Amino acid sequence: MGLAVFSSDALSSVAYATEAILSILILKSATSVGYQVPLTLGIVGLILIIAISYNQTIHAYPSGGGSYSVASENLGKWPGLIAGGALLVDYILTVSVSVAAGCAAIVSAVPSLHSYLVPMAVLCVAILAWANLRGVKESGAAFAIPTYGFVMSVLALLIVGMVQAMSGSLPAQANPQVIGSVGIDHHHGLYFLLARAFAAGCTALTGIEAVSNGVQAFRQPESKNASITLRWMVILLSVMFLGIGLLANHLPTLKLLPAADKEYRTLLAQIAAQIFGDKTVMFYVLQYATAAILVLAANTAFADFPRLASLLARDGYLPRPMARQGDRLVFHNGILVLAGLGGLLIVIFKGELDLLLPLYAVGVFTAFTLSQSGMVVHWLRHREKNWKYALCVNATGAFLSFVVLCIIAVTKFAEGAWIILIAVPLIVFGFHQINRRYGAISRQLAIQPGEKVDDHPHLSILLVPRVHRGILQGLEYARQLKGEVQAVHVIVNDKTVPQVRRDWDRYAPDVPLVVLSSPYRSLIEPVIDYVDELRRENRDSIITVIVAEAVATKPWHKLLQENVAMQIKTALSLRPNIIVSSVRYFLE
Protein backbone atom coordinates (compact mmCIF):
# COMPACT_ATOMS: atom_id res chain seq x y z
CA MET A 1 0.00 0.00 0.00
CA GLY A 2 2.87 2.37 0.74
CA LEU A 3 4.27 1.79 -2.74
CA ALA A 4 0.87 2.55 -4.27
CA VAL A 5 0.40 5.74 -2.25
CA PHE A 6 3.87 7.27 -2.64
CA SER A 7 5.12 6.06 -6.04
CA SER A 8 2.42 7.22 -8.47
CA ASP A 9 4.25 10.47 -9.30
CA ALA A 10 7.60 8.75 -9.90
CA LEU A 11 6.32 5.68 -11.76
CA SER A 12 3.98 7.68 -14.00
CA SER A 13 6.91 9.74 -15.30
CA VAL A 14 7.97 6.83 -17.55
CA ALA A 15 4.90 7.67 -19.64
CA TYR A 16 6.61 10.81 -20.99
CA ALA A 17 10.33 10.77 -20.02
CA THR A 18 11.57 8.66 -22.97
CA GLU A 19 9.43 10.69 -25.36
CA ALA A 20 10.99 13.86 -23.94
CA ILE A 21 14.48 12.53 -24.74
CA LEU A 22 13.60 11.50 -28.30
CA SER A 23 11.80 14.77 -29.04
CA ILE A 24 15.13 16.55 -28.49
CA LEU A 25 17.34 14.04 -30.31
CA ILE A 26 15.32 14.18 -33.54
CA LEU A 27 15.97 17.93 -33.74
CA LYS A 28 19.45 17.09 -35.07
CA SER A 29 18.83 14.12 -37.33
CA ALA A 30 17.15 10.74 -37.43
CA THR A 31 20.43 8.99 -36.62
CA SER A 32 20.71 10.95 -33.34
CA VAL A 33 17.88 8.81 -31.98
CA GLY A 34 20.48 6.08 -31.40
CA TYR A 35 21.84 8.06 -28.42
CA GLN A 36 18.58 7.54 -26.53
CA VAL A 37 19.51 4.24 -24.86
CA PRO A 38 22.91 5.44 -23.50
CA LEU A 39 21.21 8.57 -22.15
CA THR A 40 18.51 6.43 -20.56
CA LEU A 41 21.18 4.29 -18.88
CA GLY A 42 22.85 7.42 -17.54
CA ILE A 43 19.55 8.68 -16.11
CA VAL A 44 18.88 5.27 -14.51
CA GLY A 45 22.28 5.54 -12.81
CA LEU A 46 21.31 9.01 -11.57
CA ILE A 47 18.01 7.61 -10.25
CA LEU A 48 19.88 4.98 -8.23
CA ILE A 49 22.28 7.51 -6.71
CA ILE A 50 19.52 10.00 -5.79
CA ALA A 51 17.42 7.16 -4.34
CA ILE A 52 20.32 5.96 -2.16
CA SER A 53 20.76 9.56 -1.00
CA TYR A 54 17.10 9.86 -0.03
CA ASN A 55 17.33 6.54 1.76
CA GLN A 56 19.73 8.28 4.18
CA THR A 57 17.13 11.03 4.67
CA ILE A 58 14.50 8.44 5.56
CA HIS A 59 16.60 7.08 8.43
CA ALA A 60 17.71 10.53 9.62
CA TYR A 61 14.21 12.04 9.58
CA PRO A 62 11.69 9.34 10.56
CA SER A 63 9.07 12.04 11.09
CA GLY A 64 9.34 13.12 7.44
CA GLY A 65 12.24 14.80 5.69
CA GLY A 66 10.74 17.25 3.21
CA SER A 67 13.19 19.48 1.35
CA TYR A 68 11.83 22.61 3.05
CA SER A 69 12.25 21.16 6.54
CA VAL A 70 15.68 19.63 5.92
CA ALA A 71 17.09 22.72 4.19
CA SER A 72 15.65 25.11 6.78
CA GLU A 73 16.97 23.12 9.75
CA ASN A 74 20.46 22.54 8.40
CA LEU A 75 21.20 25.32 5.91
CA GLY A 76 19.22 28.21 7.33
CA LYS A 77 16.31 30.46 6.42
CA TRP A 78 17.11 31.39 2.82
CA PRO A 79 18.00 27.93 1.47
CA GLY A 80 14.85 26.63 3.17
CA LEU A 81 12.73 29.29 1.48
CA ILE A 82 14.31 28.54 -1.90
CA ALA A 83 13.53 24.86 -1.41
CA GLY A 84 9.99 25.72 -0.35
CA GLY A 85 9.45 27.97 -3.35
CA ALA A 86 10.90 25.39 -5.75
CA LEU A 87 8.63 22.69 -4.27
CA LEU A 88 5.53 24.85 -4.62
CA VAL A 89 6.37 25.40 -8.29
CA ASP A 90 7.08 21.68 -8.67
CA TYR A 91 3.65 20.75 -7.27
CA ILE A 92 1.90 23.21 -9.60
CA LEU A 93 3.72 21.75 -12.58
CA THR A 94 2.99 18.20 -11.35
CA VAL A 95 -0.71 18.99 -11.75
CA SER A 96 -0.27 20.55 -15.20
CA VAL A 97 2.14 17.94 -16.60
CA SER A 98 0.44 14.86 -15.13
CA VAL A 99 -3.08 15.87 -16.16
CA ALA A 100 -1.93 16.94 -19.63
CA ALA A 101 -0.05 13.64 -20.07
CA GLY A 102 -3.06 11.67 -18.80
CA CYS A 103 -5.37 13.37 -21.28
CA ALA A 104 -2.79 12.78 -24.02
CA ALA A 105 -2.99 9.06 -23.25
CA ILE A 106 -6.78 9.17 -23.62
CA VAL A 107 -6.53 11.13 -26.87
CA SER A 108 -4.02 8.57 -28.17
CA ALA A 109 -6.61 5.84 -27.53
CA VAL A 110 -9.57 7.85 -28.86
CA PRO A 111 -8.28 10.28 -31.56
CA SER A 112 -11.75 11.82 -32.01
CA LEU A 113 -11.28 13.54 -28.62
CA HIS A 114 -8.15 15.36 -29.79
CA SER A 115 -9.82 18.75 -30.20
CA TYR A 116 -11.04 18.50 -26.58
CA LEU A 117 -7.58 17.94 -25.07
CA VAL A 118 -7.38 21.25 -23.18
CA PRO A 119 -11.03 21.29 -21.95
CA MET A 120 -10.61 17.66 -20.79
CA ALA A 121 -7.46 18.56 -18.87
CA VAL A 122 -9.05 21.61 -17.21
CA LEU A 123 -12.10 19.51 -16.30
CA CYS A 124 -9.83 16.88 -14.70
CA VAL A 125 -8.15 19.58 -12.58
CA ALA A 126 -11.55 20.90 -11.53
CA ILE A 127 -12.76 17.41 -10.56
CA LEU A 128 -9.60 16.75 -8.55
CA ALA A 129 -10.01 20.08 -6.76
CA TRP A 130 -13.67 19.37 -6.00
CA ALA A 131 -12.88 15.88 -4.68
CA ASN A 132 -10.14 17.23 -2.41
CA LEU A 133 -12.33 20.09 -1.17
CA ARG A 134 -14.93 17.49 -0.24
CA GLY A 135 -12.31 15.80 1.90
CA VAL A 136 -12.08 12.55 -0.06
CA LYS A 137 -9.65 10.37 1.87
CA GLU A 138 -6.67 8.82 0.13
CA SER A 139 -6.98 5.11 0.84
CA GLY A 140 -4.35 2.57 -0.08
CA ALA A 141 -6.90 0.58 -2.11
CA ALA A 142 -7.85 3.64 -4.18
CA PHE A 143 -4.19 4.18 -5.02
CA ALA A 144 -3.37 0.50 -5.52
CA ILE A 145 -5.73 -0.20 -8.43
CA PRO A 146 -4.39 2.52 -10.82
CA THR A 147 -0.76 2.14 -9.69
CA TYR A 148 -0.50 -1.62 -9.97
CA GLY A 149 -2.73 -1.63 -13.04
CA PHE A 150 -0.23 0.65 -14.76
CA VAL A 151 2.80 -1.30 -13.52
CA MET A 152 1.37 -4.66 -14.63
CA SER A 153 0.35 -3.23 -18.03
CA VAL A 154 3.82 -1.79 -18.69
CA LEU A 155 5.57 -4.95 -17.50
CA ALA A 156 3.31 -7.01 -19.78
CA LEU A 157 4.27 -4.66 -22.62
CA LEU A 158 7.98 -5.13 -21.86
CA ILE A 159 7.75 -8.92 -21.58
CA VAL A 160 5.76 -9.35 -24.80
CA GLY A 161 8.00 -6.84 -26.55
CA MET A 162 11.21 -8.56 -25.48
CA VAL A 163 9.83 -11.96 -26.55
CA GLN A 164 8.92 -10.53 -29.96
CA ALA A 165 12.34 -8.91 -30.26
CA MET A 166 14.16 -12.18 -29.48
CA SER A 167 11.93 -14.14 -31.87
CA GLY A 168 12.65 -11.67 -34.66
CA SER A 169 9.05 -10.49 -35.14
CA LEU A 170 10.00 -6.92 -34.22
CA PRO A 171 12.00 -4.86 -36.72
CA ALA A 172 15.63 -4.36 -35.71
CA GLN A 173 15.72 -0.65 -36.38
CA ALA A 174 19.07 0.99 -36.98
CA ASN A 175 18.03 4.02 -39.05
CA PRO A 176 14.45 4.84 -38.08
CA GLN A 177 12.11 6.82 -40.25
CA VAL A 178 11.34 9.84 -38.12
CA ILE A 179 8.32 12.06 -38.67
CA GLY A 180 8.72 15.33 -36.84
CA SER A 181 10.62 18.61 -36.88
CA VAL A 182 13.96 17.23 -38.04
CA GLY A 183 16.89 19.45 -38.88
CA ILE A 184 15.89 22.70 -37.20
CA ASP A 185 18.63 22.64 -34.60
CA HIS A 186 21.82 22.42 -36.67
CA HIS A 187 23.28 25.55 -35.08
CA HIS A 188 23.89 23.58 -31.87
CA GLY A 189 26.58 20.96 -31.57
CA LEU A 190 26.04 17.31 -30.75
CA TYR A 191 27.20 17.61 -27.14
CA PHE A 192 24.77 20.42 -26.43
CA LEU A 193 22.01 18.38 -28.04
CA LEU A 194 22.86 15.38 -25.84
CA ALA A 195 22.87 17.61 -22.76
CA ARG A 196 19.42 18.93 -23.71
CA ALA A 197 18.11 15.41 -24.23
CA PHE A 198 19.60 14.28 -20.90
CA ALA A 199 17.98 17.24 -19.15
CA ALA A 200 14.63 16.39 -20.77
CA GLY A 201 14.87 12.77 -19.61
CA CYS A 202 15.57 13.82 -16.02
CA THR A 203 11.84 14.39 -15.63
CA ALA A 204 11.89 10.65 -14.82
CA LEU A 205 13.18 11.60 -11.35
CA THR A 206 10.13 13.65 -10.39
CA GLY A 207 8.43 12.27 -7.30
CA ILE A 208 11.40 10.20 -6.16
CA GLU A 209 11.51 12.17 -2.88
CA ALA A 210 7.88 11.42 -2.00
CA VAL A 211 8.68 8.46 0.28
CA SER A 212 11.12 10.47 2.42
CA ASN A 213 8.47 13.20 2.79
CA GLY A 214 5.91 10.79 4.22
CA VAL A 215 7.86 8.40 6.44
CA GLN A 216 5.47 9.03 9.33
CA ALA A 217 2.62 7.45 7.33
CA PHE A 218 4.20 3.98 7.43
CA ARG A 219 3.68 1.32 10.07
CA GLN A 220 6.39 0.66 12.62
CA PRO A 221 9.29 0.43 12.11
CA GLU A 222 8.58 3.44 9.90
CA SER A 223 12.08 4.02 8.52
CA LYS A 224 12.59 0.37 7.60
CA ASN A 225 9.25 0.08 5.79
CA ALA A 226 9.76 3.38 4.00
CA SER A 227 13.23 2.27 2.89
CA ILE A 228 11.84 -1.00 1.47
CA THR A 229 9.15 0.96 -0.38
CA LEU A 230 11.75 3.31 -1.86
CA ARG A 231 13.82 0.38 -3.12
CA TRP A 232 10.86 -1.25 -4.89
CA MET A 233 9.84 2.07 -6.39
CA VAL A 234 13.32 2.63 -7.81
CA ILE A 235 13.52 -0.94 -9.16
CA LEU A 236 10.17 -0.64 -10.95
CA LEU A 237 10.95 2.87 -12.20
CA SER A 238 14.34 1.83 -13.58
CA VAL A 239 13.05 -1.35 -15.24
CA MET A 240 10.08 0.38 -16.90
CA PHE A 241 12.06 3.43 -17.98
CA LEU A 242 14.89 1.37 -19.48
CA GLY A 243 12.50 -1.15 -21.04
CA ILE A 244 10.45 1.53 -22.77
CA GLY A 245 13.67 3.12 -24.03
CA LEU A 246 14.79 -0.21 -25.55
CA LEU A 247 11.43 -0.92 -27.18
CA ALA A 248 11.36 2.57 -28.70
CA ASN A 249 14.26 1.46 -30.93
CA HIS A 250 12.00 -1.17 -32.54
CA LEU A 251 9.38 1.19 -33.89
CA PRO A 252 9.32 1.10 -37.72
CA THR A 253 8.10 4.71 -37.77
CA LEU A 254 8.70 7.14 -34.93
CA LYS A 255 6.14 9.95 -34.93
CA LEU A 256 6.91 12.69 -32.41
CA LEU A 257 4.45 15.46 -33.18
CA PRO A 258 3.21 18.41 -31.11
CA ALA A 259 -0.03 17.88 -29.22
CA ALA A 260 -1.77 20.39 -31.50
CA ASP A 261 -1.29 18.04 -34.49
CA LYS A 262 -4.37 15.89 -35.16
CA GLU A 263 -2.14 12.82 -35.72
CA TYR A 264 -0.49 13.25 -32.32
CA ARG A 265 0.07 10.04 -30.39
CA THR A 266 2.22 9.47 -27.33
CA LEU A 267 5.36 7.37 -27.67
CA LEU A 268 3.97 4.82 -25.20
CA ALA A 269 0.83 4.49 -27.33
CA GLN A 270 2.95 3.94 -30.46
CA ILE A 271 4.94 1.21 -28.70
CA ALA A 272 1.73 -0.44 -27.41
CA ALA A 273 0.22 -0.37 -30.89
CA GLN A 274 3.37 -2.05 -32.27
CA ILE A 275 3.61 -4.70 -29.51
CA PHE A 276 -0.04 -5.46 -28.67
CA GLY A 277 -1.58 -4.36 -31.93
CA ASP A 278 -3.55 -1.20 -32.59
CA LYS A 279 -7.03 -1.08 -31.00
CA THR A 280 -6.60 -4.34 -29.11
CA VAL A 281 -7.85 -4.87 -25.55
CA MET A 282 -4.36 -4.64 -24.06
CA PHE A 283 -3.69 -1.45 -26.02
CA TYR A 284 -6.71 0.23 -24.45
CA VAL A 285 -5.94 -1.24 -21.02
CA LEU A 286 -2.46 0.30 -21.09
CA GLN A 287 -3.73 3.69 -22.28
CA TYR A 288 -6.43 3.99 -19.66
CA ALA A 289 -4.12 2.66 -16.92
CA THR A 290 -1.60 5.32 -17.97
CA ALA A 291 -4.25 8.03 -17.80
CA ALA A 292 -5.39 6.79 -14.38
CA ILE A 293 -1.94 6.81 -12.75
CA LEU A 294 -1.11 10.21 -14.23
CA VAL A 295 -4.28 11.74 -12.81
CA LEU A 296 -3.46 10.00 -9.52
CA ALA A 297 0.02 11.59 -9.64
CA ALA A 298 -1.66 14.99 -10.01
CA ASN A 299 -3.79 14.19 -6.97
CA THR A 300 -0.68 13.72 -4.81
CA ALA A 301 0.14 17.37 -5.51
CA PHE A 302 -3.29 18.30 -4.13
CA ALA A 303 -2.24 16.62 -0.88
CA ASP A 304 1.33 17.96 -0.72
CA PHE A 305 0.96 21.55 -2.01
CA PRO A 306 -1.65 22.64 0.60
CA ARG A 307 0.32 20.90 3.36
CA LEU A 308 3.59 22.65 2.43
CA ALA A 309 1.77 25.97 1.97
CA SER A 310 0.27 25.58 5.45
CA LEU A 311 3.76 25.01 6.92
CA LEU A 312 5.06 28.14 5.20
CA ALA A 313 1.99 30.09 6.36
CA ARG A 314 2.47 28.97 9.98
CA ASP A 315 6.09 30.11 9.76
CA GLY A 316 4.85 33.48 8.51
CA TYR A 317 5.99 33.24 4.88
CA LEU A 318 2.59 32.87 3.19
CA PRO A 319 -0.75 34.51 3.99
CA ARG A 320 -2.22 32.92 7.12
CA PRO A 321 -5.46 31.87 5.37
CA MET A 322 -3.31 29.24 3.61
CA ALA A 323 -2.92 27.49 6.98
CA ARG A 324 -6.64 27.46 7.71
CA GLN A 325 -8.50 24.16 7.53
CA GLY A 326 -12.14 24.01 6.52
CA ASP A 327 -14.92 22.01 8.14
CA ARG A 328 -13.72 18.91 6.27
CA LEU A 329 -10.19 19.32 7.71
CA VAL A 330 -8.62 20.18 4.34
CA PHE A 331 -6.55 23.23 3.49
CA HIS A 332 -9.17 24.56 1.10
CA ASN A 333 -7.34 27.79 0.17
CA GLY A 334 -4.24 25.84 -0.87
CA ILE A 335 -6.36 23.48 -2.97
CA LEU A 336 -8.05 26.38 -4.77
CA VAL A 337 -4.76 28.17 -5.46
CA LEU A 338 -3.16 24.97 -6.81
CA ALA A 339 -6.15 24.16 -9.04
CA GLY A 340 -6.25 27.70 -10.40
CA LEU A 341 -2.54 27.90 -11.22
CA GLY A 342 -2.35 24.33 -12.57
CA GLY A 343 -5.35 24.87 -14.83
CA LEU A 344 -4.01 28.23 -15.98
CA LEU A 345 -0.71 26.65 -17.10
CA ILE A 346 -2.60 24.01 -19.07
CA VAL A 347 -4.57 26.71 -20.88
CA ILE A 348 -1.53 28.93 -21.52
CA PHE A 349 0.59 26.06 -22.90
CA LYS A 350 -2.41 24.39 -24.60
CA GLY A 351 -1.77 21.10 -22.81
CA GLU A 352 1.42 20.43 -24.80
CA LEU A 353 3.96 18.41 -22.82
CA ASP A 354 6.83 19.64 -25.02
CA LEU A 355 6.16 23.14 -23.67
CA LEU A 356 5.44 22.19 -20.05
CA LEU A 357 8.28 19.72 -19.40
CA PRO A 358 11.17 22.24 -19.75
CA LEU A 359 9.66 24.09 -16.78
CA TYR A 360 9.28 20.94 -14.70
CA ALA A 361 12.74 19.69 -13.77
CA VAL A 362 14.23 23.01 -12.58
CA GLY A 363 12.19 23.11 -9.37
CA VAL A 364 12.68 19.38 -8.80
CA PHE A 365 16.48 19.46 -8.89
CA THR A 366 16.64 22.71 -6.94
CA ALA A 367 14.83 20.93 -4.11
CA PHE A 368 17.03 17.83 -4.57
CA THR A 369 20.22 19.89 -4.33
CA LEU A 370 19.18 21.80 -1.20
CA SER A 371 17.77 18.72 0.53
CA GLN A 372 20.90 16.66 -0.04
CA SER A 373 23.15 19.57 0.91
CA GLY A 374 21.17 19.90 4.11
CA MET A 375 21.79 16.23 4.82
CA VAL A 376 25.55 16.78 4.43
CA VAL A 377 25.39 19.46 7.13
CA HIS A 378 23.20 17.16 9.24
CA TRP A 379 25.83 14.39 9.25
CA LEU A 380 28.65 16.83 9.98
CA ARG A 381 26.73 18.14 13.01
CA HIS A 382 25.40 14.92 14.51
CA ARG A 383 28.02 12.34 13.45
CA GLU A 384 25.76 9.38 14.15
CA LYS A 385 26.62 5.75 13.44
CA ASN A 386 28.12 5.24 9.94
CA TRP A 387 27.96 8.99 9.43
CA LYS A 388 30.99 9.07 7.13
CA TYR A 389 29.34 6.68 4.66
CA ALA A 390 26.07 8.62 4.84
CA LEU A 391 27.98 11.88 4.37
CA CYS A 392 29.64 10.59 1.20
CA VAL A 393 26.33 9.33 -0.20
CA ASN A 394 24.49 12.61 0.39
CA ALA A 395 27.45 14.68 -0.80
CA THR A 396 27.47 12.69 -4.05
CA GLY A 397 23.70 13.16 -4.39
CA ALA A 398 23.99 16.89 -3.75
CA PHE A 399 26.84 17.28 -6.25
CA LEU A 400 25.09 15.34 -9.02
CA SER A 401 21.80 17.14 -8.37
CA PHE A 402 23.57 20.49 -8.66
CA VAL A 403 25.34 19.45 -11.87
CA VAL A 404 22.04 18.29 -13.41
CA LEU A 405 20.37 21.50 -12.24
CA CYS A 406 23.03 23.53 -14.06
CA ILE A 407 22.63 21.41 -17.19
CA ILE A 408 18.85 21.89 -17.12
CA ALA A 409 19.12 25.61 -16.44
CA VAL A 410 21.53 26.16 -19.37
CA THR A 411 20.08 23.77 -21.95
CA LYS A 412 16.42 24.45 -21.16
CA PHE A 413 16.75 28.17 -20.56
CA ALA A 414 15.41 29.27 -23.93
CA GLU A 415 12.72 26.57 -23.90
CA GLY A 416 11.00 28.00 -20.84
CA ALA A 417 13.29 27.22 -17.88
CA TRP A 418 13.91 30.96 -17.61
CA ILE A 419 10.34 31.30 -16.32
CA ILE A 420 11.12 29.12 -13.31
CA LEU A 421 14.53 30.71 -12.79
CA ILE A 422 12.72 34.04 -12.45
CA ALA A 423 9.61 32.72 -10.67
CA VAL A 424 11.40 30.99 -7.78
CA PRO A 425 13.43 34.08 -6.71
CA LEU A 426 10.26 36.19 -6.98
CA ILE A 427 8.38 33.69 -4.82
CA VAL A 428 11.20 33.73 -2.24
CA PHE A 429 11.16 37.54 -2.28
CA GLY A 430 7.40 37.36 -1.71
CA PHE A 431 8.01 35.03 1.26
CA HIS A 432 10.42 37.59 2.72
CA GLN A 433 8.04 40.52 2.24
CA ILE A 434 5.12 38.63 3.79
CA ASN A 435 7.29 37.68 6.76
CA ARG A 436 8.42 41.29 7.18
CA ARG A 437 4.81 42.46 7.17
CA TYR A 438 3.80 39.92 9.82
CA GLY A 439 6.80 40.96 11.90
CA ALA A 440 5.77 44.61 11.65
CA ILE A 441 2.22 43.73 12.71
CA SER A 442 3.50 41.80 15.73
CA ARG A 443 5.71 44.69 16.80
CA GLN A 444 2.86 47.18 16.47
CA LEU A 445 0.49 45.00 18.51
CA ALA A 446 2.98 44.05 21.21
CA ILE A 447 2.02 45.29 24.69
CA GLN A 448 4.88 47.20 26.29
CA PRO A 449 5.75 46.73 30.01
CA GLY A 450 3.54 48.96 32.14
CA GLU A 451 1.28 49.89 29.23
CA LYS A 452 -2.35 50.53 30.21
CA VAL A 453 -5.55 50.90 28.23
CA ASP A 454 -6.50 54.57 27.88
CA ASP A 455 -10.03 55.62 28.88
CA HIS A 456 -11.32 57.46 25.79
CA PRO A 457 -14.53 59.51 25.67
CA HIS A 458 -17.24 57.85 23.56
CA LEU A 459 -19.82 59.27 21.18
CA SER A 460 -22.58 57.25 19.48
CA ILE A 461 -24.22 58.44 16.26
CA LEU A 462 -27.46 56.75 15.15
CA LEU A 463 -28.44 57.23 11.50
CA VAL A 464 -32.17 57.95 11.22
CA PRO A 465 -33.59 57.87 7.66
CA ARG A 466 -37.09 57.78 9.26
CA VAL A 467 -38.45 56.68 12.61
CA HIS A 468 -39.63 53.06 12.75
CA ARG A 469 -39.29 49.98 14.96
CA GLY A 470 -35.81 49.11 13.64
CA ILE A 471 -34.56 52.61 14.47
CA LEU A 472 -35.89 52.31 18.01
CA GLN A 473 -33.93 49.05 18.40
CA GLY A 474 -30.83 50.92 17.25
CA LEU A 475 -31.57 53.67 19.75
CA GLU A 476 -31.85 51.15 22.58
CA TYR A 477 -28.44 49.75 21.62
CA ALA A 478 -26.93 53.25 21.49
CA ARG A 479 -28.18 53.98 25.00
CA GLN A 480 -26.44 50.85 26.27
CA LEU A 481 -23.11 52.27 25.18
CA LYS A 482 -20.98 54.61 27.24
CA GLY A 483 -21.05 58.33 26.51
CA GLU A 484 -23.12 60.81 24.51
CA VAL A 485 -25.72 59.75 21.90
CA GLN A 486 -26.73 61.71 18.80
CA ALA A 487 -29.18 60.98 16.01
CA VAL A 488 -28.40 62.09 12.46
CA HIS A 489 -30.90 62.54 9.63
CA VAL A 490 -29.75 63.33 6.08
CA ILE A 491 -32.24 65.39 4.05
CA VAL A 492 -33.00 63.50 0.88
CA ASN A 493 -36.58 64.82 0.61
CA ASP A 494 -37.36 68.21 2.23
CA LYS A 495 -41.02 67.31 2.68
CA THR A 496 -40.27 64.41 5.04
CA VAL A 497 -38.14 66.40 7.50
CA PRO A 498 -41.00 67.81 9.64
CA GLN A 499 -42.50 64.32 10.11
CA VAL A 500 -39.11 62.90 11.10
CA ARG A 501 -38.69 65.70 13.69
CA ARG A 502 -42.17 65.11 15.16
CA ASP A 503 -41.65 61.34 15.40
CA TRP A 504 -38.22 61.75 16.96
CA ASP A 505 -39.49 64.24 19.59
CA ARG A 506 -42.22 61.74 20.42
CA TYR A 507 -40.01 58.66 20.92
CA ALA A 508 -36.60 60.10 21.92
CA PRO A 509 -36.90 63.65 23.15
CA ASP A 510 -33.76 63.24 25.28
CA VAL A 511 -31.51 62.48 22.27
CA PRO A 512 -30.58 65.43 20.02
CA LEU A 513 -31.42 65.03 16.30
CA VAL A 514 -28.89 66.56 13.90
CA VAL A 515 -30.30 67.25 10.41
CA LEU A 516 -27.74 67.36 7.60
CA SER A 517 -28.45 68.94 4.24
CA SER A 518 -27.54 67.07 1.06
CA PRO A 519 -27.59 69.29 -2.03
CA TYR A 520 -26.88 66.37 -4.37
CA ARG A 521 -29.23 63.94 -2.57
CA SER A 522 -26.24 61.86 -1.46
CA LEU A 523 -26.77 59.80 1.68
CA ILE A 524 -23.17 58.79 2.39
CA GLU A 525 -21.10 61.95 1.83
CA PRO A 526 -22.88 64.18 4.38
CA VAL A 527 -22.47 61.47 7.03
CA ILE A 528 -18.76 61.15 6.24
CA ASP A 529 -18.25 64.93 6.38
CA TYR A 530 -20.09 65.15 9.70
CA VAL A 531 -18.07 62.30 11.22
CA ASP A 532 -14.82 63.92 10.06
CA GLU A 533 -15.92 67.19 11.68
CA LEU A 534 -16.61 65.37 14.96
CA ARG A 535 -13.20 63.70 14.76
CA ARG A 536 -11.50 67.07 14.46
CA GLU A 537 -13.44 68.45 17.42
CA ASN A 538 -13.04 65.30 19.57
CA ARG A 539 -9.60 63.96 18.72
CA ASP A 540 -9.42 61.54 21.66
CA SER A 541 -12.98 60.23 21.35
CA ILE A 542 -14.18 56.90 20.05
CA ILE A 543 -17.09 57.41 17.65
CA THR A 544 -19.55 54.61 16.95
CA VAL A 545 -21.77 55.03 13.89
CA ILE A 546 -24.89 52.89 14.33
CA VAL A 547 -26.89 51.76 11.31
CA ALA A 548 -30.23 49.98 11.67
CA GLU A 549 -30.04 47.24 9.04
CA ALA A 550 -33.05 45.29 7.73
CA VAL A 551 -32.52 41.56 7.16
CA ALA A 552 -34.83 39.78 4.71
CA THR A 553 -35.52 36.07 5.10
CA LYS A 554 -35.96 35.44 1.37
CA PRO A 555 -33.07 36.01 -1.06
CA TRP A 556 -35.09 37.89 -3.67
CA HIS A 557 -36.35 40.33 -1.01
CA LYS A 558 -32.74 41.52 -0.60
CA LEU A 559 -32.97 43.08 -4.06
CA LEU A 560 -35.56 45.51 -2.69
CA GLN A 561 -33.27 46.89 0.03
CA GLU A 562 -30.33 49.28 0.01
CA ASN A 563 -27.29 48.08 1.99
CA VAL A 564 -26.37 51.38 3.61
CA ALA A 565 -24.40 49.70 6.41
CA MET A 566 -21.87 48.19 4.01
CA GLN A 567 -21.45 51.51 2.17
CA ILE A 568 -20.84 53.33 5.46
CA LYS A 569 -18.35 50.67 6.63
CA THR A 570 -16.43 50.90 3.36
CA ALA A 571 -16.31 54.69 3.44
CA LEU A 572 -15.10 54.85 7.07
CA SER A 573 -12.80 51.80 7.00
CA LEU A 574 -9.52 53.79 6.88
CA ARG A 575 -10.40 56.30 9.62
CA PRO A 576 -8.98 55.55 13.10
CA ASN A 577 -11.16 55.53 16.22
CA ILE A 578 -14.33 55.01 14.15
CA ILE A 579 -16.58 51.98 14.73
CA VAL A 580 -19.48 51.15 12.42
CA SER A 581 -22.06 48.92 14.11
CA SER A 582 -25.07 47.29 12.46
CA VAL A 583 -28.17 46.70 14.55
CA ARG A 584 -30.15 44.17 12.56
CA TYR A 585 -33.92 43.82 12.57
CA PHE A 586 -35.56 40.92 10.75
CA LEU A 587 -38.40 41.16 8.25
CA GLU A 588 -40.73 38.21 7.80
Report CA dihedral (286, 291, 293, 299) to the nearest 10 degrees.
-170
For residue 31, the model assigns a pLDDT of: 67
**What's the pLDDT score for residue 138?**
55
Angstrom CA distances, 584 to 124, 261, 476, 587, stand at 44, 61, 12, 10
Burial 476-512 (b: 16+ CB within 10 A, else e): ebbeebeeebbbbbbbeeeeeeeebeebbeeebeebe
Calpha distance 356→342 (Å, rounded): 11
Strands 253-255 and 484-490: unpaired
Among 20, 94, 101, which residue's Cα sits nearest to residue 290?
101
* Under 8 Å between Cβ of 394 and 53: yes
- pLDDT at position 180 is 53
Dump the DSSP string for 537-582: H-TT-EEEEEEEEEEESSGGGGGGS--HHHHHHHHHTTSTTEEEEE
Instruction: Return the domain boundaries, the chain.
Output: 2-65+91-163+178-240+254-306+320-348, 458-587
Beta-carbon contacts of 420 under 8 Å, excluding residues fewer than 6 positions away, are: 89, 359, 362, 363
* pLDDT reported for residue 65: 61
Q: CB-based burial of residue 576 (10 Å sphere; 0-12 exposed, 13-18 middle, 19+ buried)? A: exposed
Euclidean distance between CA atoms 545 and 543, whole angstroms: 6
Check residue 13 and give its pLDDT.
93
Please tell me what DSSP assigns to residue 126: H
pLDDT of residue 99: 95
Dihedral sign (CA 273, 277, 278, 281): negative
- CA nearest to 326, candidates 139, 129, 136, 134: 134
Tens place of pLDDT per residue across the chain (588 aa): 888 888 888 999 999 999 999 888 887 666 678 889 999 999 999 999 999 999 988 888 887 767 888 999 899 999 999 999 999 999 999 999 999 999 999 999 999 998 899 999 999 999 989 888 886 655 566 778 889 999 999 999 999 999 998 888 877 664 455 555 444 444 557 888 889 899 999 999 988 888 887 787 788 888 899 999 999 999 999 999 999 999 988 888 778 777 777 888 899 999 999 999 988 999 999 999 999 999 988 888 888 888 889 989 999 999 999 988 876 677 889 999 999 999 999 999 988 888 888 888 888 899 999 999 999 999 999 888 888 998 999 999 999 999 999 999 898 888 888 888 899 999 999 999 999 999 999 998 888 887 787 778 899 999 998 899 999 999 999 999 988 999 999 988 888 899 999 999 999 999 999 999 887 777 888 999 999 999 888 888 899 999 988 887 777 777 776 677 778 888 888 888 899 898 988 877
Q: Which fold has domain 458-587?
A: Rossmann fold (3.40.50)
Q: Classify residue 446 by its DSSP letter.
A: P
CA angle 5–10–14, rounded 5-degree value: 130
* Nearest alpha-carbon partner for 405 in 73, 89, 397: 397
